[in-house]
């Protein structure tokens, strides 16, 4: 069924076998539920699916979604005890007690620690116990507890136009922009409900007309390092943040040459901090046909000076004791790059260098020979978690260094780790920490 305008409402109502008609004060709103979906809402598929469906109807009605759509996969955020707290445990306990299981292949975002090595990473037992309980609950719901923000690096490849429900802003932006798949930035509760029902409200980025670029960026600077893309995202995100686009700014970039997948990941993660969930790159990303339809409301040029002055704002003003790489989680090429830079070198006294990725990437890094070199150079390969949702021992780590703008934004958040964090390109991070 095509997206139905309100003016076409009566016609669609008459021709559709819809069951439920929703009225509101200002508008007549319909969320069509199929017989099956209505049965879920009535509790015929159990209380777990009923709770999930009730939430999807609240969200769908809010966004005036005309229906729900079947999804191919779900990527679930809200996994770390640091960010989800006891409320997360309660919610999962509830779903598990009702026997809820996911209906589509579902992966998990990073949790708050490395499952295999939490003791030697200074995680206290109380935190670890709660984190294991969260993961155990997800497992009971048949979620693959892979714990990474880059599920597309080892599973969950997407096709253009495919509808999915993904949370985790950087993964959402990558799914929409790199693959041309269709997902809104699902929040942690909606995505859980979507995974359990296999459905999500059909609005926003599921519709082609919402995916057309609304702002333009002319890149006049040389952008090639991972952190350059991160900085570019910061500049662009900030420049357009004054606009109140319903689904964020959708930039189209001109002047980027040969970005690697991890570069587009870095760009998307930085843009996502400012509400962007989709961007297009001329000649690169899959939805080139939408660039021709662009309705540009604002445009900027980004120069070499802009890049340099933005780097300056994040340059260390105190001496870092740890460098954290892998926000979003490092792919094999990034792991190889770190390996090359640290090979045969020794860390300075009282400095730590941590590389965050999935256990899947760790296994590949091991077989590729990288892990041995990293271990010898004192790099800590941390899995299942990420630089932001990991709970650092504040007595040990007082100043953090990273190559990711997203990490530089979130690590210092007052109710998260609250630790000052600075940014340098990867090469300089290595030089800062190594003899």
Partner 1 sequence: MTSYHARSLRSFKEFSVEGEAIVTSEPITLLGFVDPQSGKIVEEGHELNGQSIAGKIFVFPRGVGSTVGPYTLINLVKNEMGPLAIINRESDQGTVAGCSVARIPMVYGMSDDPTKVIKTGDKIKINAVQNKATVEIMD
Which stretches of the chain bind partner 1, using CB under 8 A?
22-26, 54-55, 57-59, 61-63, 77-78, 80, 83-88, 90-91, 167-169, 172, 184-191, 193, 244, 246, 275, 410, 413-416
Q: Which is nearer to partner 1, 184 or 402 (CB)?
A: 184
280: three-class secondary structure by DSSP: strand
Nearest approach in angstroms of CB 280 to partner 1 is: 22
Peptide bond into 235 cis (omega under 30): no
Beta pairing partners, 67: 32
Q: Which is nearer to partner 1, 344 or 414 (CB)?
A: 414
Q: Which is nearer to partner 1, 189 or 284 (CB)?
A: 189
Q: Which is nearer to partner 1, 64 or 366 (CB)?
A: 64
Residue among 206, 362, 334, 351 nearest 277 (CA) = 206
Say how far apart CA 341 and CA 92 lie, in whole Å.
Answer: 42
Q: Which is nearer to partner 1, 23 or 395 (CB)?
A: 23
380: three-class secondary structure by DSSP: strand
Say how far apart CA 332 and CA 134 lie, in whole Å.
Answer: 28
**CB atoms near residue 358 (< 10 Å):** 27
Say how far apart CA 185 and CA 162 lie, in whole Å.
Answer: 15
**What is the token pair recorded at 69?**
């759509």
Say how far apart CA 388 and CA 231 lie, in whole Å.
Answer: 18
Using DSSP, how many helices (H) and how many strands (E) does the chain show? 16, 16
Beta pairing partners, 254: 218
Nearest approach in angstroms of CB 145 to partner 1 is: 17
Nearest approach in angstroms of CB 410 to partner 1 is: 7
Say how far apart CA 223 and CA 310 lie, in whole Å.
Answer: 13
Nearest approach in angstroms of CB 425 to partner 1 is: 26
Q: Which is nearer to partner 1, 247 or 381 (CB)?
A: 247
Nearest approach in angstroms of CB 94 to partner 1 is: 9
Q: Which is nearer to partner 1, 149 or 355 (CB)?
A: 149
Q: Which is nearer to partner 1, 87 or 283 (CB)?
A: 87
Nearest approach in angstroms of CB 6 to partner 1 is: 14
Nearest approach in angstroms of CB 297 to partner 1 is: 17
Q: Which is nearer to partner 1, 184 or 230 (CB)?
A: 184
Reported in sequence order, the residue ranges of 20-150 that DSSP labels E, i.e. its strands, are 22-23, 28-29, 68-70, 74-76, 106-108
Nearest approach in angstroms of CB 183 to partner 1 is: 11
Nearest approach in angstroms of CB 13 to partner 1 is: 18
Q: Which is nearer to partner 1, 45 or 81 (CB)?
A: 81
DSSP letters, 4-20, are --GGGHHHHHHHS----
Q: Which is nearer to partner 1, 16 or 54 (CB)?
A: 54
Nearest approach in angstroms of CB 247 to partner 1 is: 9
**What is the token pair recorded at 276?**
């962007």
Residue 403 neighbours by CB under 8 Å, 6+ apart: 226, 227, 230, 325, 423, 424, 425, 426, 429
Nearest approach in angstroms of CB 382 to partner 1 is: 20
HEC-encoded secondary structure of 157-225: CCCCCCECEECCHHHHHHHHHCCCCECCECCHHHHHHHHHHCEEECCHHHCHHHCCCCEEEEECCCCCC
42's enclosing H/E stretch is helix 35-42
- C-alpha angle 410-413-416 in degrees, rounded to nearest 5: 95
Say how far apart CA 387 and CA 149 lie, in whole Å.
Answer: 11
């Amino acid at each position: 069924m095509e997206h139905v305008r309100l003016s076409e409402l009566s016609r669609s109502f008459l021709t559709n076998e819809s069951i439920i008609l929703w009225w509101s004060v200002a508008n007549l709103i319909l969320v069509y539920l199929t017989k099956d979906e209505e049965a879920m809402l009535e509790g015929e598929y159990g209380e777990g699916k009923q709770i999930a469906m009730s939430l999807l109807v609240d969200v769908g009605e809010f966004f005036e979604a005309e229906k729900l759509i079947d999804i191919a996969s779900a990527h679930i955020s809200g996994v770390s005890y640091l960010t989800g707290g006891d409320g997360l445990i309660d919610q999962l306990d509830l779903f598990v007690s009702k026997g809820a299981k996911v209906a589509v292949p579902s992966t998990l975002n990073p949790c708050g620690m490395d499952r295999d090595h939490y003791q030697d990473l200074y995680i206290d037992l109380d935190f670890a116990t709660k984190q294991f309980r969260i993961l155990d609950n997800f497992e009971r719901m048949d979620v693959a507890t892979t714990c990474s923000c880059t599920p597309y690096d080892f599973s969950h490849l997407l096709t253009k136009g495919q509808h999915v429900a993904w949370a985790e802003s950087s993964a959402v932006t990558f799914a929409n922009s790199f693959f041309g798949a269709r997902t809104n930035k699902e929040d942690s509760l909606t995505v859980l409900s979507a995974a359990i029902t296999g459905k999500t409200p059909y609005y926003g980025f599921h519709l082609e007309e919402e995916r057309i670029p609304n702002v333009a960026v002319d890149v006049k600077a040389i952008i090639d390092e991972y952190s350059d893309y991160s900085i570019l995202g910061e500049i662009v995100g900030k420049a357009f943040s004054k606009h109140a686009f319903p689904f964020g700014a959708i930039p189209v970039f001109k002047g980027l040459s040969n970005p690697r997948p991890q570069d587009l990941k870095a760009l998307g993660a930085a843009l996502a901090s400012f509400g962007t969930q989709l961007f297009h790159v001329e000649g690169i990303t899959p939805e080139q046909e939408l660039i021709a339809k662009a309705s540009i409301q604002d445009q900027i040029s980004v120069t070499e000076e802009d890049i340099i002055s933005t780097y300056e704002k994040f340059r260390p003003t105190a001496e870092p004791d740890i460098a954290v790489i892998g926000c979003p989680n490092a792919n094999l090429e990034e792991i190889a790059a770190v390996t090359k830079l640290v090979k045969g070198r020794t860390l300075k006294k009282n400095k730590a260098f941590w590389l965050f990725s999935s256990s899947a990437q760790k296994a590949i890094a091991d077989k590729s020979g990288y892990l041995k070199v990293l271990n010898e150079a004192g790099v800590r390969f941390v899995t299942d978690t990420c630089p932001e949702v990991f709970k650092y021992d504040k007595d040990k780590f007082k100043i953090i260094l990273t190559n990711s703008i997203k990490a530089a934004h979130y690590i210092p958040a007052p109710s998260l780790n609250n630790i000052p964090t600075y940014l340098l390109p990867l090469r300089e991070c290595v030089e800062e920490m190594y003899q």
